[in-house]
Amino acid sequence: MELNTIESHDIGIAAEPSAGTGPTAKKVFVKTYGCQMNVYDSQRMTDALAADGYVATDAVEDADLVLLNTCHIREKAAEKVYSELGRIRDMKAERAEAGRELLIGVAGCVAQAEGAEIIRRSPAVDLVIGPQTYHRLPDVLARVRGGKKVVETEYAIEDKFEHLPQPKRAELAKRGVTAFLTVQEGCDKFCTFCVVPYTRGSEVSRPVAQIVAEAERLAEAGVREVTLLGQNVNAWHGLGENGEEWGLGRLLFRLAEIPGLARLRYTTSHPRDMDEELIAAHRDLPALMPYLHLPVQSGSDRILKAMNRRHTARDYLALIERIRAARTDIAMSGDFIVGFPGETDADFEATLELVREVNYASAFSFKYSPRPGTPGAEMDGHVAEAVKDERLQRLQGLLLKQQQDFGLSLVGKTIDTLIEKPGRQAGQKVGRSPWLQPVIVDDKAGGIGDIIDVRITRTGYNSLFAELV
C-alpha cells in the first residue's frame, strides 16, 4: 500500500459547509485521519448524508452527528481515535443534560479492524461503519435513530460506488480545483508489516466508464488536476469502454482527453506493478505530472524479503532508471520503515545507501509499528524503540536534505503552476508545482484554476516562492 498516511498531523478536514437545507437541518462534523483515500471517502460520506438531509459543519459544537473517519496503519494513528472519542463522549454527556442528542460514528480502517470492540471500549459510540459500506450510511443512521447501536463491517456485495450519490455541481465547485478520485481499493500484496489487506480487503478496480464519468463531472465543476487513488493504484485493471481489460497507463491516456483536465497524478504505487504502458504514459503524456510516489520501505534485500515486498533493492533502482529514461524531470518520492523486526545496523545502512542513490524529492518515513494480526508482529528480533528513534532521525535528516536540495535546484527556473487558493497573507496566492510543492505567488498572477508560468525566486521550508514572468 501505500497511500501516505501522515503520522503526526492527521488531516482534520471538516467537510465544507454546504448549501443548507434550512436552519433546522441536521449537521454533521466529519474528522478525517490518515491517507488521501480517507479524505475522498469523507467527501463521499458527506455526499451520502447530504442526500439524507445533513449539512456539513466545520464546528464540532454545532454537530448532531460526529463522524470520525479513522486510520489503522500505525498504532499511534489508531490510539488517537480513542482519545478523541473520550472528548466527544464528554460532549455527548453535556448535550444529554441539555436534552439534545449527539450521535457518534466511527468509520474507516479502525472501524473495519475493530468493529464491535469499539463500542465495548467506548460505549458512547452509536455506529461503526467500515469503508466498504459507506453507501449504506443513511440506512445505518435510520436504525441508530430507532434506538439501536449498529456495527456495519460486512463487505457489501453490491458496488459501493454505484450506490454512493454524486454531489451537486455547485458543491463540487466549492471543493477547489484539485480533486481525488478513487479508482482502486484494497490490496492483495500482503506485505508483512501492513494492515491494509485486512482493513480494505482484496483489490477491486472500478470500471473505466464509472471513472470517466466521475472525472468529467469534476472537470465540468472546474477541477483542473485529478489524483487517482488506490492502495495499489498501479495494479488497477478495469473493464474498458471497449469491453477489454485496461491498465492504468491506458486509463491515464483516456482521462487526458477530458476537456479542462490539465493535470493527472496517481498514488500510491507498488514497484512490481510499474508496467511498460504506465512508463510510456510518463514519457508521452504531458498531462501526467512528473512526480512519482513509489515506496520501497527498505534498501536491504534481507529486510525486503522479510517484508514480502518481492523485489530487491537492485530491481527498484533499475526500475527508477527506466522511469527516468522515459521522463528525465521526474521527481521521486517514497515511503520507508525503520526498525522492522530483524533490521541490523548493516540493513539500515543499506537503506541510507539506496536513498543516496535515488535522491528523493520528498519522502515519508516511519518507525515500524507492530500491527495485530500481521505476520510482522509475530516475528522475532523486534528492534528497541531507542534504536528505531535514532535510525529514523538519521534517515529523516538525509531525506530532508534531499528535499531541500531539490527545492533549491528549481531556483531561477521557470515552471508551470496551478493556482489553487488565496494565500495566508494578503496579496498572495498559493499554487502547486508539477512536483507537488506549494508555490507562493503574487495575487495578480492569475485566477484560481489558471495554470501559469512563474519563475522560482527562493525556497521556504516546504514551499517555493515565485515571481511572474
Which residues lie near ligand SF4 (CB under 6 A)? 1-2, 187, 189-191, 194, 196-197, 231-232, 270
Of 211, 289, 337, 354, the one binding ligand 5AD (CB under 6 A) is 337
Q: Write down the least CB distance from residue 74 to ligand 5AD, Å.
A: 5
- Examine residue 369 and tell whether it contacts ligand 5AD (CB under 6 A): yes
**Which partner from the list ligand SF4, ligand 5AD, none does 132 bind, CB cut-off 5 to 8 Å by kind?**
none
**Residue 75: all three cell numbers together:** 498504532
Q: Which residue is nearest to ligand SF4 (CB)?
A: 1
Candidates 102-110, 171-179, 304-312, 364-372; binding stretch for ligand 5AD (CB under 6 A): 364-372
Residues in region 287-306 near ligand 5AD by CB under 6 A: 295, 297
Per-residue x/- track, 171-210, ligand 5AD (CB under 6 A): ----------------------xx----------------
Bond from prior residue into 268 cis (ω within 30 degrees of 0): yes
Per the listing, cell 479508482 goes with 183
CB-wise, 178 or 199, nearer to ligand 5AD? 199
CA 25 to chain centre: 30
Closest CA to 273 of 189, 150, 213, 162: 189
- Examine residue 371 and tell whether it contacts ligand 5AD (CB under 6 A): yes
Residues in region 246-265 near ligand 5AD by CB under 6 A: none
Strands 26-32 and 65-70: parallel
What is the Cα–Cα distance from 244 to 104, expressed in whole angstroms?
44
Candidates 64-72, 158-166, 203-211, 367-375; binding stretch for ligand 5AD (CB under 6 A): 367-375
Of 44, 72, 74, 429, the one binding ligand 5AD (CB under 6 A) is 74
What is the Cα–Cα distance from 222 to 169, expressed in whole angstroms?
9
CB-wise, 221 or 296, nearer to ligand SF4? 296
| 438 SS3 class | strand
Q: Write down the least CB distance from residue 330 to ligand 5AD, Å.
A: 19
Q: Using an 8 Å Cβ cutoff, are 187 and 193 in contact? A: no
Q: Using an 8 Å Cβ cutoff, are 207 and 241 in contact? A: no
Candidates 88-96, 210-218, 363-371, 387-395; binding stretch for ligand 5AD (CB under 6 A): 363-371
DSSP string, 75-122: HHHHHHHHHHHHHHHHHHHHHHHTT---EEEEEHHHHHHHTTHHHHH-
What is the Cα–Cα distance from 277 to 251, expressed in whole angstroms?
10
383: Cβ contacts below 8 Å, ≥ 6 apart = 339, 340, 341, 343, 368
Of 40, 246, 366, 435, the one binding ligand 5AD (CB under 6 A) is 366
CB-wise, 341 or 407, nearer to ligand SF4? 341
* Site of interaction with ligand 5AD (CB under 6 A): 1-5, 73-74, 193-194, 295, 297, 335, 337, 366, 368-369, 371
